[in-house]
Amino acid sequence: MSAKIETVAIIGAGIMGAGLAQLFAQNGYAVKLHDVSIDALDRAVTRAGNNMAMQSDFGWIPAEDIVPALEMMQCTTDLGEAVSKADFIIEAVPEVLELKKNVFARLGGLAPEHTVLASNTSTFDVMAEMPDAIAGRVLITHFFNPPQLVPLVEVVRGERTADEVIETAMELMRAVGKYPLMLNRYLPGFVVNRIQLAINGMAYMILNEGILEPEDIDKAIENSISLRLAVGGPFATMDLGGLDVMAASARAMGVEPPPALAERVERGDLGVKTGRGFYDYAGIDEEEILARRDRRLMLLLDAYMRGLKD
């Protein structure tokens, strides 16, 4: 059974911290935002207000909801005050392991015994560093910048994280409109950053060829795969393109297709056109699949092209 969450404490008032405070305040949670700098706290509140004003301009939220949401955010430089009544804490301090360890060591002595202790780290296995007294309450909730907008949250459990803590985190993420992706163990870079690393690595290689400038490479991605992947991830996109085509393309670039791809091609499971690839399309008309993809892509393109005119 998951625990009831009423108050969320955010430790760190940088860009991520401000976005997280805004996210939970907008969704009706009392928020305690902590930072060692009063200036950082002031900037965070201003940034949250500006973010919500933009959302209002887009028609996402009523303008009259902005002030009440900001009033749900209380700022403090006193860590004890920030966490004394918190049900869920998210550490969002800079990505320095020793700093994070020190924060959690303090949280263990300041937060109530029922409080879930989460880290927004994108890199470290902070759970392995936790003392036994709090290890069962610690997990990772990795948001993506800007956290008030990007839907995905990678929820990573440690070897000692209690099941109830995982359930509470997953339920809370859904309650604020997020898509929580559950990882049952720590994986360096988690999921998205590992894929991003591969993309960045190839971008560096192309840049080093001296043919294109960074802006050219960015524009190539923005106007192609970034849009396509937004309406279907890599496996769905491969299924649509044909796994035999994907295998041939890999070989043309000097890369042997991995077993997960080669074995499907050998079986004749080539994707949408054969009714099975990485996904099973049994009973689904190919034209329906293509039309659904194209409708989603057209909606994205409409917004993208309007954005280019700003």
Confidence of residue 1 (pLDDT cuts 50, 70, 90): low
In this prediction, residue 15 carries a pLDDT of: 94
Domain with CATH 1.10.1040 in the chain: 223-308
DSSP string, 290-303: HHHHHHHHHHHHHH
- Verify cis geometry, omega within 30 degrees of 0, for the bond prior to 62: no
Q: Which of 204, 48, 196, 186 is nearest to 119 (CA)?
A: 186
Domain with CATH 3.40.50.720 in the chain: 7-183
With a cut of 60, say whether residue 239 has pLDDT above it. Answer: yes
In this prediction, residue 310 carries a pLDDT of: 67
For domain 7-183, the CATH class is: alpha beta
> Using H for helix, E for strand and C for coil, what is the string for 50-100?
HHHHHHHHCCCCCHHHHHHHHHCEEEECCHHHHHCCCCEEEECCCCCHHHH
Confidence of residue 303 (pLDDT cuts 50, 70, 90): confident
Q: In the structure, how many helices (H) and strands (E) does the chain have?
A: 14, 8
In this prediction, residue 129 carries a pLDDT of: 81
Q: What is the mean pLDDT of residues 213-228?
A: 94
Q: Which amino acid is at 129?
A: E
Angstrom CA distances, 248 to 148, 169, 207, 263, stand at: 40, 43, 25, 14
> What is the chain's length?
310
Least confident of 172-176, 221-225, 303-307: 303-307
Q: Determine which one of 6, 98, 129, 154 is catalytic.
A: 154
Q: Is 154 a catalytic residue?
A: yes
Q: Which of 130, 151, 148 is nearest to 139 (CA)?
A: 130
For domain 223-308, the CATH class is: mainly alpha
Q: What is the pLDDT of residues 21-73, one digit of tens each?
A: 999 999 999 999 999 999 999 999 999 999 999 999 989 999 999 999 999 99
In this prediction, residue 304 carries a pLDDT of: 84
- Rounded-to-integer distance, Cα 115 and Cα 107, Å: 10
Q: What is the pLDDT of residues 135-152, one digit of tens each?
A: 999 999 999 999 999 999
Model's pTM, two decimal places? 0.91
With a cut of 90, say whether residue 234 has pLDDT above it. Answer: yes
Confidence of residue 216 (pLDDT cuts 50, 70, 90): very high
Distance from the Cα of residue 243 to its chain's centroid: 28
Q: What is the percentage of the chain residues whose pLDDT exceeds 90?
A: 92
- Cα dihedral 126, 128, 130, 133, rounded to 10, equals 140
